[in-house]
């Protein structure tokens, strides 16, 4: 239950504050953004940079080519004003031979061509390298998330993982594409200063007096801009979260007539985001007129002081013209490096979040000496004094022991939270036990390879998960090598062939996301066909007949009988009607195995199973409120 702080409740008709920190969702979003803000403030993170470089190293040749192209491009940029200066002072001087000016023009054309080629090479090579690194990072993250332990997935929001796979990786791509340009900007900046000092150090020092002013303004600007950018980022995150929540929960919104109120609240969020974005935009644009003003001031200094120097004969006209060209270019790399500052901040934040995912330890790994399960291993399952909990301090299963013989069908029943699904997860080794051992085919699951364990066990879940693709592709999802005849045979065996043939394109019909264009019963029959096609020795059924109508359940029961022929079956069920024909029934409660036997034996035993059955309750979750004290003690 949620706790309410005194005075935190809203009175009827009182406006709701979308930024009210008493909202749990808002607290979570704002809290996460505050963590991001701390990361966003770092301009450089050595650990993150090292991890990025691991993905860049395979493309070292491309990096060298890009840097060489940038250096060449920067050199040509520095050379062009010097050529103009030489042309004015020498090629256009009275009595100068025309050959000098023609030679300068030819050299100018060559340098411009070199400038163009270097720019194109840098753009193409850097862009291709960034795309390759982007692909490698995404592939590494996808591969790692496919292997990562379910204990991590249980406590991680899918939306955040998607954000890291998309938005954060794109931030890294932006950083890689522009990082080489930053090298060129630095070279150009220092090159311009060096050339101006070489041309005339006194005039250069006069021009550079504007730099302290620029840095003072920039320091003041960065403090305000960073706060504004983070406020905009936070407001946008909260607004997007509210939008996603409203879309996902549209049924509940309409059912509770919250549409108008949600629209009002969302309007407040949008208004807050608009104001924050507007302030950030203003601050991001304010530096442009300041830089333009400083550029104009520097050019005025050159025009005034340089003009006096030309009149006095101290410098030539070409020198002053070169200074004007260099001043025009001097502030371009400063603007670019300012943008790089923000790009690097985003890249460090994104890189930190990406490495968090890539560094998640895989808790369940094959042992170094693990061997695969083979055809000689039977389909038996055994629990030996198993204790397990998602949080080790709060075990879900407590010292549970039982054995399922090969070819036997055993039902696991009990109230919600008794440990049924957890037991099935341990058989597939989605998690490791804290104590005891789980054996499949007489071998500890920790001593066999996970791939062979997956081939040995097939699972059919309460809500079958179908993927975007054709019906055929979904049936052979776990056995992609199966031929057409095997797919059709599996579908016929479970009673799915007729409805598949009735689909617009039969087995080639494309399924929508999660198979939403099929009924739940049809999706379940496809999952049965998929399980049958794997030809696994052990079949786990986790509430496969729940949430469906009686007619569909009858179809599925027929398919289930076909599916269990010659296989070890472990069936989880709440409904007593679905487990009567099991060879054995295991009754779990509060993580302990309290009784076992077939239906008749358990009825004679008079325990929890018999109590619920005799009281004609359809489910183990239907514990009555009016049980006698003796019955209640037995039921709990």
C-alpha distances (whole Å) from 562 to each of 385, 537, 557 are 33, 14, 9
Q: What is the rounded distance in angstroms from the CA atom of residue 200 to the CA atom of residue 413?
A: 91
Do residues 208 and 245 share a domain? yes
Could you tell me if residue 225 is inside a domain?
yes
Q: What is the rounded distance in angstroms from the CA atom of residue 24 to the CA atom of residue 44?
A: 33
Could you tell me if residue 555 is inside a domain?
yes
pLDDT tens digits, 603-619? 888 888 887 777 654 55
Could you tell me if residue 11 is inside a domain?
no
Chosen domain end from 329, 363, 397: 363
Nearest Cα residue to 241 out of 519, 35, 29: 29
Position 385 scores a pLDDT of 92
* CATH code at position 134: 1.20.1560.10
* CATH code at position 528: 3.40.50.300
Do residues 106 and 161 share a domain? yes
Residue 377 tokens read as 């291993």
If residue 382 lies in a helix (H) or strand (E), which one and from where to where?
strand 381-388
Could you tell me if residue 192 is inside a domain?
yes
Structural domain boundaries enclosing 280: 201-314
Pairing of strands 409-413, 568-572: parallel
Residue 2 tokens read as 């949620």
The number of C-alpha atoms within 13 Å of 515 and in the hemisphere containing its C-beta is 23
Could you tell me if residue 537 is inside a domain?
yes
Do residues 232 and 105 share a domain? no
Could you tell me if residue 448 is inside a domain?
yes
Position 630 scores a pLDDT of 43
Position 164 scores a pLDDT of 58
Q: What is the rounded distance in angstroms from the CA atom of residue 32 to the CA atom of residue 246?
A: 20
Do residues 453 and 414 share a domain? yes
Do residues 170 and 108 share a domain? yes
Please state the separation of Cα 289 from the chain's center in Å. Answer: 39
Q: What is the rounded distance in angstroms from the CA atom of residue 123 to the CA atom of residue 114?
A: 14
Position 494 scores a pLDDT of 79
Nearest Cα residue to 183 out of 48, 66, 84, 358: 66
pLDDT tens digits, 81-119? 888 888 887 877 777 687 888 888 899 899 999 989 998
Could you tell me if residue 35 is inside a domain?
no
* Location of structure tokens 């998607």: 162
Ranges in the chain, pLDDT < 50: 1-41, 617, 625-636
Position 37 scores a pLDDT of 39
Do residues 395 and 356 share a domain? no
Q: What is the rounded distance in angstroms from the CA atom of residue 82 to the CA atom of residue 142?
A: 52
What is the number of structural domains in the chain? Answer: 3
Do residues 506 and 622 share a domain? yes
The number of C-alpha atoms within 13 Å of 530 and in the hemisphere containing its C-beta is 26
The Cβ of residue 238 has, within 10 Å, a number of other Cβ atoms equal to: 21
List of residues 6+ apart from 5 with CB closer than 8 A: 22
CA–CA–CA angle 528, 396, 147 (5° rounding): 55
What are phi and psi for residue 548, nearest 5 degrees?
Answer: -130, 160
Helix (H/G/I), strand (E/B), else coil: 171: helix
Do residues 395 and 440 share a domain? yes
Do residues 205 and 189 share a domain? no
Helix and strand element counts for the chain (H, E): 23, 12
Position 293 scores a pLDDT of 80
Kindly write down the DSSP assignment for every residue of 176-240, as one continuous string. Answer: HHHHHHHHHHHHHHHHHHHHHHHH-HHHHHHHTTHHHHHHHHHHHHHHHHHHHHHHHHHHHHHHH
C-alpha distances (whole Å) from 529 to each of 486, 487, 517 are 10, 8, 18
Helix (H/G/I), strand (E/B), else coil: 533: helix
Do residues 280 and 407 share a domain? no
The Cβ of residue 450 has, within 10 Å, a number of other Cβ atoms equal to: 18
- Yes or no: say if 362 and 121 are a contact pair by the CB < 8 Å rule: no
Position 621 scores a pLDDT of 53
Could you tell me if residue 584 is inside a domain?
yes
Position 162 scores a pLDDT of 62
Nearest Cα residue to 521 out of 490, 559, 486, 493: 559
The number of C-alpha atoms within 13 Å of 163 and in the hemisphere containing its C-beta is 13
Do residues 604 and 559 share a domain? yes
- Yes or no: say if 411 and 584 are a contact pair by the CB < 8 Å rule: yes
Do residues 162 and 213 share a domain? no
Chosen domain end from 304, 335, 363: 363
């Amino acid at each position: 239950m949620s706790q309410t702080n005194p005075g935190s409740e809203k009175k009827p008709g009182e406006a709701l504050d979308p930024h009210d920190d008493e909202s749990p969702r808002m607290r979570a979003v704002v809290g996460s953004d505050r963590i991001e803000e701390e990361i966003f403030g770092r301009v450089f993170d050595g650990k993150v940079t090292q991890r990025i470089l691991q993905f860049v190293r395979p493309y070292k040749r491309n990096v060298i080519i890009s840097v060489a192209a940038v250096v060449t491009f920067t050199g040509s940029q520095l050379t062009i004003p010097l050529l103009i200066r030489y042309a004015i002072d020498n090629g256009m001087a009275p009595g100068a031979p025309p050959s000098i000016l023609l030679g300068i023009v030819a050299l100018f054309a060559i340098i411009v061509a070199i400038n163009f080629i270097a720019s194109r090479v840098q753009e193409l090579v850097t862009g291709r390298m960034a795309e390759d690194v982007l692909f490698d990072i995404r592939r590494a993250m996808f591969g790692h998330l496919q292997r990562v332990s379910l204990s991590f997935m249980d406590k991680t929001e899918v939306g955040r993982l998607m954000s890291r796979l998309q938005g954060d990786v794109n931030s890294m791509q932006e950083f890689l594409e522009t990082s080489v340009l930053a090298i060129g900007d630095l070279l150009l900046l220092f090159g311009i200063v060096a050339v101006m000092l070489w041309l005339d150090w006194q005039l250069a020092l006069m021009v550079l007096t504007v730099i302290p002013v620029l840095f003072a303004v920039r320091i003041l600007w960065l403090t305000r801009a960073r706060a504004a950018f983070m406020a905009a980022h936070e407001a946008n995150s909260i607004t997007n979260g509210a939008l996603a929540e409203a879309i996902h929960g549209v049924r509940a919104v309409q059912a509770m007539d919250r549409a108008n109120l949600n629209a009002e609240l969302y309007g407040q969020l949008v208004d807050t985001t608009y104001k924050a974005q507007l302030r950030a935009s203003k601050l991001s644009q304010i530096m442009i007129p300041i830089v333009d003003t400083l550029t104009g001031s520097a050019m005025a200094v050159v025009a005034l002081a340089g003009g006096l120097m030309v009149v006095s004969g101290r410098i030539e006209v070409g020198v002053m013209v070169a200074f004007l060209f260099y001043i025009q270019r001097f502030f371009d790399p400063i603007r670019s490096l300012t943008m790089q500052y923000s790009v690097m901040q985003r890249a460090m934040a994104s890189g930190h979040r990406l490495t968090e995912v890539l560094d998640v330890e895989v808790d369940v790994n094959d042992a170094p000496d693990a061997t695969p399960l083979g055809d000689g291993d039977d389909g038996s399952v055994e629990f030996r004094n198993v204790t397990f909990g998602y949080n080790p301090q709060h075990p879900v299963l407590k010292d549970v022991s039982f054995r399922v013989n090969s070819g036997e069908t055993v039902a696991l029943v009990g109230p919600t939270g008794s440990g049924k699904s957890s037991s099935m997860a341990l058989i597939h080794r989605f998690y490791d036990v804290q104590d005891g051992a789980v054996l499949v085919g007489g071998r500890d699951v920790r001593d066999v390879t996970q791939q062979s364990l997956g081939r040995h066990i097939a699972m059919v879940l309460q809500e079958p998960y179908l993927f975007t693709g054709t019906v055929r592709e979904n049936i052979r999802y776990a056995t992609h090598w199966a031929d057409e005849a095997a797919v059709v045979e599996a579908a016929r065996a479970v009673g799915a062939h007729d409805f598949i043939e009735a689909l617009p394109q039969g087995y080639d019909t494309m399924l929508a996301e999660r198979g939403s264009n099929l009924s739940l019963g049809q999706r379940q029959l496809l999952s049965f066909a998929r399980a049958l096609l794997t030809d696994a020795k052990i079949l786990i059924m986790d509430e496969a007949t729940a949430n469906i109508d009686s007619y569909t359940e009858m179809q599925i029961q027929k398919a289930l009988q076909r599916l269990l022929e010659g296989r070890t079956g472990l069936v989880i069920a709440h409904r007593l009607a679905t487990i009567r024909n099991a060879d054995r029934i295991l009754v779990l409660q509060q993580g302990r195995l309290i009784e076992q036997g077939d239906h008749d034996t358990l009825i004679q035993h008079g325990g929890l199973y018999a109590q619920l059955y005799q009281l004609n309750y359809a489910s183990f979750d239907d514990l009555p409120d009016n049980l006698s004290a003796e019955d209640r003690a037995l039921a709990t």
